[in-house]
Amino acid sequence: MGVAGADVSGFVEPVELTGQRWVRLEPLRREHLPEIAAAAADGELGRLWFTAAPGPDEVTAWVDGRLAAQAPDRGLTFVVRRLDGTLVGSSSYMNVDAKNRRLEIGNTWYVASARRSGVNAETKLLMLGHAFDQLGCIAVEFRTHFMNLTSRAAIERLGAKQDGILRSHQLMADGSRRDTVVYSILDVEWPAVRNNLRYRLDRYA
């Protein structure tokens, strides 16, 4: 576990995380671009105006943007694969605050075929486990658009608690303002959250 004054250099170094039933997470590389483009052709992603999922014409810009934010003291983006190798989505460590042992999990999206499956539950189990058990985080945040009721419900099912709402927090590309709902899970809550995620995965088996 991290302690005050500890060396936090290289806090979120690239790492692969493999689950037991559903997914393998790999650090994003530019070589993933063709597979991400195929996933973006799903037809739904670009229509979800309140998410960060790339549309079919935005894949290169999305990959470039995520790679630009990928550094040990800033963040790490994963591609999410089913264990059969099919790329089905992405999720990121972001807004890293290594000194205070905090980070956010966000920019998460999945193709339609991966939803209502164990993909998200195991992805979050792996990412939260790495954050708390290997990086020694004391808190992991989740943030989403106030209007994204699906995302809010999914975050709450994890066991995250709502911290508050940042009103007019961001300006969207269409000129609208985003009210951002902030949730978090603390290290002392992680054992219960982990048990809940494992229980949910058992139900998908």
Which tens digits make up the pLDDT trace of 126-165?
999 999 999 999 999 999 999 989 889 989 999 999 999 9
Q: What is the CATH number of domain 17-204?
A: 3.40.630.30
Q: What is the rounded distance in angstroms from the CA atom of residue 113 to the CA atom of residue 17?
A: 21
Q: How far apart are the first and last CA of the chain?
A: 32
Quote the pTM value: 0.90
Q: Could you read off the pLDDT of 92-136 as tens digits, one per residue? A: 999 999 999 999 999 999 998 888 889 999 999 999 999 999 999
> What is residue 52's three-state secondary structure?
coil
Domain boundary assignment for the chain: 17-204
The angle subtended at Cα 153 by Cα 18 and Cα 40, nearest 5°, is 55
